[in-house]
Amino acid sequence: DGGITQSPKYLFRKEGQNVTLSCEQNLNHDAMYWYRQDPGQGLRLIYYSQIVNDFQKGDIAEGYSVSREKKESFPLTVTSAQKNPTAFYLCASSAPGRVGSWEQFFGPGTRLTVL
């Protein structure tokens, strides 16, 4: 079945450590996104990528980094520079370019907790 997988489901990190969250899709979508979800604040866009080897900062990119070396994969690194990284992280993908194709498909999420 086509879909988006994120791993791990739960992640614990000590302060000062970098961690990388995995996101893989087999939907053959060109565009991929990372969102952060905090209680009562909806979803905020961290980074997005429209095509392989290209990505753009979203609204809250500070303290995060991404890469897009393959169409299927869009890993997110939460660096030690991110001041408040504890949150639920959601990855999404879409197939822009076709009329009405702006729907974004979401993965199950990774809950990151900084100890």
Partner 1 sequence: GDSVTQMEGPVTLSEEAFLTINCTYTATGYPSLFWYVQYPGEGLQLLLKATKADDKGSNKGFEATYRKETTSFHLEKGSVQVSDSAVYFCALFYAGGTSYGKLTFGQGTILTVHP
Site residues (CB under 8 A) for partner 1? 4, 6, 31, 33, 40-45, 48, 50, 56, 58, 90, 92, 94, 96, 100, 102-109
Question: What's the start-to-end Cα distance of the chain, in Å?
Answer: 36
- The residue (of 13 and 111) whose beta carbon lies closer to partner 1 is 111
Minimum CB–partner distance for residue 7 and partner 1 (Å): 13
Minimum CB–partner distance for residue 33 and partner 1 (Å): 7
Question: 65 exposed, middle or buried (CB, 10 Å; 0-12, 13-18, 19+)?
Answer: middle
- The residue (of 80 and 111) whose beta carbon lies closer to partner 1 is 111
**What's the rounded Cα separation, in Å, for the pair 2 and 10?**
23
- The residue (of 16 and 42) whose beta carbon lies closer to partner 1 is 42
Minimum CB–partner distance for residue 24 and partner 1 (Å): 14
Q: What angle do CA 40, 45, 49 make, to 5 degrees?
A: 160
Q: What element of type H or E holds 33?
A: strand 31-37
- The residue (of 27 and 80) whose beta carbon lies closer to partner 1 is 27
Q: What element of type H or E holds 111?
A: strand 110-114
Minimum CB–partner distance for residue 2 and partner 1 (Å): 14
